[in-house]
Every structure is written in C-alpha cells, then in structure tokens.
C-alpha cells in the first residue's frame, strides 16, 4: 500500500470521515464495514482507559468517562500494539477537559490509578536485603546509591484524595465531598506480587525521591532532613529495606 493510503486511513480512522478512502473501497458495504471497524477501535481504546483508570470511572460514571476518554483517543491515538499501558497522559488530559473543571481533584485520582497500573506491570528486579546491607563495610553505606525498585512510584498530590482512592480500589465507595486542596505524598509499589500503597510524610517522600534519582544514602538523608519534621531520616532506609522499595545493585557495583 502507498503512503497516501496509510495517511488517508489514519485520517479516516481518527475523524470518522471515510471519503478519503473511497478510491480504495470496493463498494458501499466496504464503507459500512470500515465504520464498524472504527467503532470497535474507538470502543477498545475507551475500555482500555476505563480499565486503566477504574477509580476515575467509578467517581464520574460511564456516561461522563466515555466522552472524556473518546476525546483523549482523538488527540492521543495508541502508538503501541498492546493497549495494556495506553493512556500515560490521561491525568493531564483530565486537567484540561472542560467538563471536569469542577472536579479539581480528579487528575490526582488519575495519577494514583496510573501509578498502580505502572507498579503492577513494572519489570521484575531483586530487592536489596538487610542481610546484603549488613555484609557491607559500615563506612561505605553513606555512599551507597542503590536506586528504587522499578515498581516504586512516589506521587505528590495537590488534593488529599488518597483515602477516597484507596477505598474505591478495594470496592468501598466514598463520595469525595468537601475536599479542599492540600498536599499529600503517596508511594505505590509492588511487593511480594501485590501492589501496595502508603501515605508518606514530606521528608519520607523526599528521601525516596532522592534514591529514585540515583542519589546516595547520605544525599537522600540530607534532602529528607531539609524538609524538617521530627522524623529521623536514617530510619527511612530501614523502612525501605523491609518493604522491598530498594533495588538490589547490579553485581560488582557495591
């Protein structure tokens, strides 16, 4: 097929206007078949987004979610054959979607949904154990830069919606009424084959974010301490070890 055909096909698929395909269609029935095919493609994309963002869908309902997802498909058609991870920019789309303007917290709900999905599908990697750390010279620990496990996502929210989101993830419906803007820090990760989530203090979030950037333990502790608070930043490393948040360094790197 020519490049012109694929350009016309892409345009027709996205717009629904099949006129550009008329030279390639055998008859009117072929045009009708294309319309059915297009409807199936759009429906599959919407359902992929609905599956990826279940709490968003629960909160707004199918009739609100579907046109919002359809517009996202119009502007961001899938680029991969698999639809499993489709919709990486959906939270930003929601933030700019006019009918959702009154639901200021909804993009943060989407960010949590997305972090859960990415954690669920993240690559496998061995985590750093307490035994491995104990075997290291104590003087080397401050410079250790292990990084986070690939499934770990530290999410900073502009709305305190973690409790609402977490309840909906386990099938309990909570209506997010009277929510005022306010920061929350959440970590979502996969541990022992299950996706976990927890609220963090600003200092704890800063520590994990620094580790995720490849910083050393000393640098991560210093960043956490700069956030203030009464917590001992040194304790964050122990928490991360016991909960499988820290990646095991590659061989010969420690």
pLDDT(212) > 90: yes
| Strand-strand pairing, 153-157 and 184-191 | antiparallel
Residues of the chain with CATH 3.90.930: 125-254
String of DSSP letters for 100-123: GTT-TTHHHHHHHHHHHHHHHHPP
Angle between helices 217-226 and 234-242 (to 10 degrees): 120
Give the pLDDT of residue 89: 96
Phi, psi angle pair for 98, to nearest 5°: -50, -50
Task: Categorize the per-residue pLDDT at 25 as very low, low, confident or very high, splitting at 50, 70 and 90.
Answer: low
Give me 9's structure tokens: 């096909």
Percent of the chain having pLDDT more than 70? 83
Cα gap 155→133, rounded to integer Å? 27
Q: How many residues does the chain have?
A: 254
Give the pLDDT of residue 195: 97
| Segment 225-244 mean pLDDT | 89
Range ranked top by mean pLDDT from 40-49, 160-169, 242-251: 160-169
| Strand-strand pairing, 184-191 and 194-200 | antiparallel
- For residue 93, give Cα distances in angstroms to 85, 177, 200, 236: 16, 22, 26, 34
Task: Categorize the per-residue pLDDT at 96 as very low, low, confident or very high, splitting at 50, 70 and 90.
Answer: very high
- For residue 149, give Cα distances in angstroms to 6, 40, 233, 249: 41, 37, 19, 10
Give me 100's structure tokens: 């959702």
How much is the mean pLDDT over the chain? 87
The CATH architecture that domain 125-254 belongs to is: Alpha-Beta Complex (3.90)
pLDDT(18) > 70: no
More confident position, 15 or 143: 143
Cα gap 225→99, rounded to integer Å? 41
**Inter-residue contact 144 to 134 (CB < 8 Å):** no
- Residue in this structure with the two tokens 């206007």, named with its chain if needed: 17
H or E element that contains 60: helix 54-60
Cα gap 137→199, rounded to integer Å? 32
Cα gap 152→154, rounded to integer Å? 7
The per-residue pLDDT for range 28-42, each reduced to its tens digit, is 666 566 666 567 778
- Residue in this structure with the two tokens 């309902």, named with its chain if needed: 61
**Inter-residue contact 174 to 168 (CB < 8 Å):** yes
The per-residue pLDDT for range 141-189, each reduced to its tens digit, is 999 999 999 999 999 999 999 999 999 998 887 777 678 889 999 999 9
What distance lies between CA 210 and its chain's CA centroid?
Answer: 19
pTM recorded for the entire structure: 0.85
Task: Categorize the per-residue pLDDT at 84 as very low, low, confident or very high, splitting at 50, 70 and 90.
Answer: very high
Cα gap 162→178, rounded to integer Å? 14
The per-residue pLDDT for range 124-134, each reduced to its tens digit, is 999 999 999 99
Cα gap 133→128, rounded to integer Å? 8
Give the pLDDT of residue 8: 53
Task: Categorize the per-residue pLDDT at 7 as very low, low, confident or very high, splitting at 50, 70 and 90.
Answer: low
More confident position, 121 or 43: 121
Cα gap 73→92, rounded to integer Å? 13
Sheet with 153-157, side-by-side order of all strands: 153-157, 184-191, 194-200
Give the pLDDT of residue 80: 83
């Amino acid at each position: 097929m020519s490049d012109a055909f694929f350009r016309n096909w892409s345009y027709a698929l996205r717009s629904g206007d099949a006129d550009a395909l008329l030279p390639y269609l055998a008859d009117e029935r072929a045009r009708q078949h294309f319309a059915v095919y297009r409807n199936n493609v759009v429906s599959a994309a919407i359902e992929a987004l609905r599956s990826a963002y279940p709490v968003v869908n629960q909160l707004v309902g199918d009739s609100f979610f579907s046109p919002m997802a359809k517009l996202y498909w119009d502007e961001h058609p899938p680029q991969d054959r698999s639809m499993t991870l489709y919709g990486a920019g959906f939270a930003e789309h929601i933030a700019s979607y006019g009918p959702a303007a009154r639901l200021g917290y909804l993009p943060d709900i989407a960010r949590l949904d997305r972090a859960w999905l990415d954690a669920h599908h993240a690559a496998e990697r061995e985590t750093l154990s307490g035994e491995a750390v104990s075997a290291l010279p104590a003087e080397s620990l401050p410079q250790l830069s292990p990084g986070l496990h690939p499934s770990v996502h530290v999410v900073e929210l502009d709305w305190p919606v973690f409790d609402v989101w977490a309840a909906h993830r386990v099938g309990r419906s909570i209506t997010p009424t009277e929510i005022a803007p306010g920061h929350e820090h959440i970590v979502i990760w996969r541990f022992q084959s299950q996706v976990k989530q927890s609220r963090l203090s600003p200092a704890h979030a800063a520590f994990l974010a620094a580790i995720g950037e490849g910083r050393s333990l000393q640098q991560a502790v210093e960043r956490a301490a700069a956030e203030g608070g009464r917590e001992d930043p040194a304790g964050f490393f122990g928490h991360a070890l016991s909960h499988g948040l820290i990646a095991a360094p590659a061989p010969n790197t420690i």
